[in-house]
């Protein structure tokens, strides 16, 4: 059975669909305990940023959210010391499996396809499933709950934050620090960088003076080189998707 997600036949990743990749486990029973006790994960935080903290509706167009989540998952592996970015390529540096099942799944895919190292290829490929997989991980931790919205014959699933304050925290934290020109830590620089390169920053800093936006750009430009390489590819992929959407 072909386990490659539907829609993986992106122009940037034409050959990945030929490979049998491991799949995430069937959605298990949600872990018992407080979600707040879990360590912050970049993709989870970006999921919160990219969706309304009350309704769960997306603040971005679908492709930008998908590619932003894919970049966040790759950045998580970089943070864990499993991969790095050199120029426009992903390099696996440690094949030992992470404890997190989704990080483990992404790393397995990277290891299984050593011929494909272009960062844009992996952003395209991982973007086809990133939304559902990150939402599943957050659901397991009690951070989200799925709700059906729309008319009966056109229903879709929206993942609503289980706690509005938790969902709003990353947004409020970044917005406050940037508007007050407070230096970001390494985690928030990565989060802010993904926001910038998915074109979320105008919403994040709506009503802020231009100096706050300039401060944000300077913070992102000071990110470590591997992260800057990842963000450059993310910006190119999202920008191409925006252009395609506007001209179609």
Return d(Cα 90, Cα 58) in angstroms, integer. Answer: 28
Task: List per-residue pLDDT tens for the chain, 248 residues long.
Answer: 333 333 333 445 544 544 333 344 444 434 333 334 456 899 999 999 999 999 999 999 999 999 999 999 999 999 999 999 998 999 999 999 999 999 999 999 999 999 999 999 999 999 999 999 999 999 999 999 999 887 767 788 899 999 999 999 999 999 999 999 999 999 999 999 999 999 999 999 999 999 999 999 999 999 999 999 999 999 999 987 766 655 55
Contact residues for 121 (Cβ-Cβ < 8 A; gap 6+) = 12, 13, 16
- In CATH, which superfamily holds the domain spanning 39-247? yeast vps74-n-term truncation variant domain like (1.10.3630.10)
Return d(Cα 37, Cα 187) in angstroms, integer. Answer: 17
Domain boundaries, the chain: 39-247
pTM of the complete model:
0.84
Residue 79: the pLDDT is 95
Return d(Cα 64, Cα 70) in angstroms, integer. Answer: 10
């Amino acid at each position: 059975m072909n386990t490659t997600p539907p829609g993986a036949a992106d122009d940037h990743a034409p050959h990945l669909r030929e490979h049998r990749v491991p799949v995430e486990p069937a959605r298990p029973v949600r872990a018992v305990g407080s979600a707040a006790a879990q360590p912050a994960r970049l993709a989870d935080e970006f999921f919160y940023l990219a969706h309304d903290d009350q309704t769960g509706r997306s603040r971005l167009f679908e492709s930008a959210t998908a590619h932003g989540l894919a970049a966040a998952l790759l950045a998580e592996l970089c943070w864990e010391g499993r991969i790095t970015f050199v120029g426009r390529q992903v390099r696996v540096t440690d094949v030992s499996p992470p404890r997190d099942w989704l990080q483990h799944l992404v790393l397995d895919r990277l290891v299984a396809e050593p011929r494909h190292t272009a960062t844009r290829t992996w952003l395209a490929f991982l973007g086809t499933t990133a939304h559902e997989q990150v939402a599943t991980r957050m659901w397991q931790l009690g951070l989200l709950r799925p709700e059906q919205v729309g008319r009966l014959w056109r229903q879709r699933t929206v993942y609503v934050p289980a706690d509005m304050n938790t969902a709003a925290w990353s947004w409020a934290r970044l917005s406050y620090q940037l508007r007050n020109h407070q230096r970001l830590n390494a985690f928030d620089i990565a989060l802010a960088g993904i926001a910038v390169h998915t074109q979320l920053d105008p919403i994040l800093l709506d009503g802020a003076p231009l100096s706050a936006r300039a401060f944000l750009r300077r913070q992102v430009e000071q990110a470590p080189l591997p992260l800057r390489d990842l963000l450059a590819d993310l910006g190119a992929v999202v920008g191409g998707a925006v252009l395609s959407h506007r001209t179609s």
